[in-house]
Amino acid sequence: EIRKLWAVSNERNREWIQENQEAVRTLRNQREETRSSLQALENRLGATRDELSGVRDAVEQARLAQNQMETRVEIVREAMSELETSVQARMESVALLEDVLPQLEALAEIQREGAGLAGRLNEIEEAIGAFDSYRRQVNTRLDRLERD
């Protein structure tokens, strides 16, 4: 009786064992395929990381270039501001000289006509000296502004 049960069990178990062995082989094959796929994905990931690193380096270089350009633009703006100030100072000097020019022309006309007296001539020479002194001061200031 035990032999009969063992034989039935053995037959049934043998079929299951064969089925399980087949399933184990299939699972092993799937595991190998999965490992291959995983290795391929890891290789792709490594290449992608290298590309990403290259992109990061390029972005960093672009940021540095942008910062340098912004610095240069700021320097140019400051230089333009200084030039505008210098031009404004020169324009003021020219305006002052233009204001004085009619008086100098009038004095020259009086002198040409011979109506100028010695005292008047001295006053004119003093005025011219004052204007020359003023002009020298203005020129000195302009030179200092240009140097700065």
pLDDT over 80 (residue 139)? yes
pLDDT over 80 (residue 55)? no
Integer-rounded Cα radius of gyration of the chain: 50
Query: For residues 116 and 13, which has the higher predicted lDDT (pLDDT)?
Result: 13
Q: Residue 31: what pLDDT? A: 94
Span 72-83, pLDDT tens digits: 999 999 999 998
What is the percent of the chain with per-residue pLDDT over 90, rounded to a whole number? Answer: 36
Give CA angle at 21 (16, 22), nearest 5°: 100
Residue for token pair 């000296």: 129
pLDDT over 90 (residue 52)? no
Q: Name, in order, each residue with C-beta under 8 angstroms of 89's C-beta and a sequence gap of 6 or more.
A: 141, 142, 145
In angstroms, the CA 91 to CA 52 distance is 57
Query: For residues 3 and 35, which has the higher predicted lDDT (pLDDT)?
Result: 35
Is residue 135 within 8 A of residue 90, CB to CB? The reply is no
Query: For residues 52 and 38, which has the higher predicted lDDT (pLDDT)?
Result: 38
Span 83-113, pLDDT tens digits: 899 889 888 888 888 888 888 888 777 766 6
pLDDT over 60 (residue 69)? yes
Where does 1-146 show beta strands of DSSP type E? none
Is residue 110 within 8 A of residue 120, CB to CB? The reply is yes
Q: Indicate the average pLDDT of the chain.
A: 85
pLDDT over 60 (residue 120)? yes
Q: Where does the chain have alpha helices with state H?
A: 2-113, 118-147
Average pLDDT over residues 16-38: 92
pLDDT over 60 (residue 115)? no
